[in-house]
Amino acid sequence: MHNNKQLYLPKMGCGTWAWGNRLLWGYDESMDGELQAAFNLCVSNGVTLFDTGDSYGTGKFNGRSEQLLGQFSQQYQGANKDNICIATKLAAYPWRLTRQSMVSAGKASASRLGKNIDLVQMHWSTANYAPWQESALLDGLGDLYDRGLVKGVGLSNYGPKRLKWVHKKLGDRHVPIVTLQVQYSLLSTYPVTELGLKEVCDELGIKLIAYSPLALGLLTGKYSENGSFPKGIRGLACQQLLPGMRSLLECLREIAAARNKTVSQVALNWCICKDTIPIPGAKSARQAGENIGALGWNLDAGEIAELDKAAASADKKMVQNIFQTK
Ligand SMILES: NC(=O)c1ccc[n+]([C@@H]2O[C@H](COP(=O)([O-])OP(=O)(O)OC[C@H]3O[C@@H](n4cnc5c(N)ncnc54)[C@H](OP(=O)(O)O)[C@@H]3O)[C@@H](O)[C@H]2O)c1
């Protein structure tokens, strides 16, 4: 029944958190034209993986991110159309307790997308607070795969120990795990350097997706210690992290200047060189266009080593997702 082989994963994707979360990110419908332009530009340039979630969107914008992606992918008629891969994440809400609840959630996402989900991901593990809840939800993901309703199954915010457990559980019923997404950037190396996730993923044949690869914008170089900060958690992150990341920004700027690239492009290329798929969130065609410029070239070993060193010297790092497991 399953058709997993049709799943195409490009070198870089595009995140869409910002497309639904009005309270946190200032979304409103007037942005839709710009978001569609960003989508079209990405796909025509081979950035065909789009990450979303059934929890992306609040209040009246509930489900909006999936709906927009569905509309955009149906209306798109240019190059690489067949490679579009919509990856959604199903939330482990406390009221989702049975395997059928995950199957229903998958069907609801598919209905918002107007087509079957390409890659369905467990948004987070419940291991840190309700470990008993998770097994049934994973069974539901496996059911979606077995019934041919999704092309692939992925995970999000899992550490190596829990990942191995899920790999065995789904493997026993021949459901492969294709991807794992974690917060990974020059300011969030923890999943790889401390948890050792890359080795484990390589061993299990799982592709690592790097979410928040620009550290919410901090790695674009657009914020300065004396400038004005954005509202909310991003402003807080600026306040806390900018003073300790001067040498990292300097290193990024030097490499960017030498290569005639931008700071964002260098930060994203670093993720690609670490053999992960970054999914930067882009709110405009301009941002998407800049991020696409991270493709088609590679930092050399010396530059990667310099960036690694500068990243290790940053005195504060991004706070890890509370759901990230060991
Ligand atoms: N699995 C999970 O639990 C999880 C958690 C978080 C995120 N994610 C996924 O990862 C995606 C990306 O993460 P993120 O949005 O948190 O962080 P990010 O990609 O590190 O940062 C995105 C923000 O940076 C700014 N930006 C992007 N490109 C830019 C450019 N070229 N120049 C200047 N500014 C630029 C935009 O903000 P402004 O324009 O507002 O400045 C954008 O909203 C999300 O969309 C989501 O799909 C997954």
CATH number for the domain running over 4-313: 3.20.20.100
CA separation for the pair 323, 326 (Å, rounded): 10
> 76 catalytic, yes or no?
no
Q: What is the pTM of this model?
A: 0.97
Spatial CA neighbour of 207 closest among 217, 216, 198, 195: 198
* pLDDT at residue 22, rounded to an integer: 45
264 lines ligand 1 (CB under 6 A): yes
Helix (H, G, I), strand (E, B) or coil at 165: helix
Nearest CA to ligand 1 atom 17: 212
Mutate to test the pocket of ligand 1, among 86, 220, 265 (most ligand atoms within 8 A of CB): 220
Spatial CA neighbour of 53 closest among 45, 62, 44, 40: 62
* pLDDT at residue 226, rounded to an integer: 87
If you measure from the C-alpha of residue 13 to the centroid of ligand 1, how many angstroms do you get, rounded to a whole number?
A: 11
Residue 185 has what DSSP assignment? B
CB 276 within 8 A of CB 209: yes
CA distances, 305 to each of 83, 246, 267, 282, 294 (Å): 33, 17, 13, 27, 18
Residues 6+ apart with CB under 8 A from 226: none
* pLDDT at residue 29, rounded to an integer: 87
* pLDDT at residue 231, rounded to an integer: 80
Spatial CA neighbour of 16 closest among 230, 283, 213, 216: 283
Of the candidates 27, 56, 158, 184, the residue annotated as catalytic is 56
291 lines ligand 1 (CB under 6 A): yes
Sequential pLDDT tens for the chain (326 residues): 555 558 999 999 999 865 555 445 678 888 899 999 999 999 999 999 999 999 988 777 889 999 999 999 999 999 999 999 999 999 999 999 999 999 999 999 999 999 999 999 999 999 999 999 999 999 999 999 999 999 999 999 999 999 999 999 999 999 999 999 999 999 999 999 999 999 999 999 999 999 999 999 999 999 999 888 888 888 889 999 999 999 999 999 999 999 999 999 999 999 999 999 999 999 899 999 999 999 999 999 999 999 999 999 999 999 999 999 99
* pLDDT at residue 109, rounded to an integer: 98
Mutate to test the pocket of ligand 1, among 158, 209, 283, 323 (most ligand atoms within 8 A of CB): 283
* pLDDT at residue 113, rounded to an integer: 97
**DSSP per residue, 44-85:** HTT--EEE--TT---GGGTTHHHHHHHHHHHH--STTGGG-E
How many residues are there in the chain? 326
CB 201 within 8 A of CB 179: no
Spatial CA neighbour of 102 closest among 120, 118, 119: 120
Domain boundaries, the chain: 4-313
CB 122 within 8 A of CB 45: no
* pLDDT at residue 2, rounded to an integer: 59
Sign of the alpha-carbon dihedral angle for 95, 98, 99, 105: negative
* pLDDT at residue 203, rounded to an integer: 98
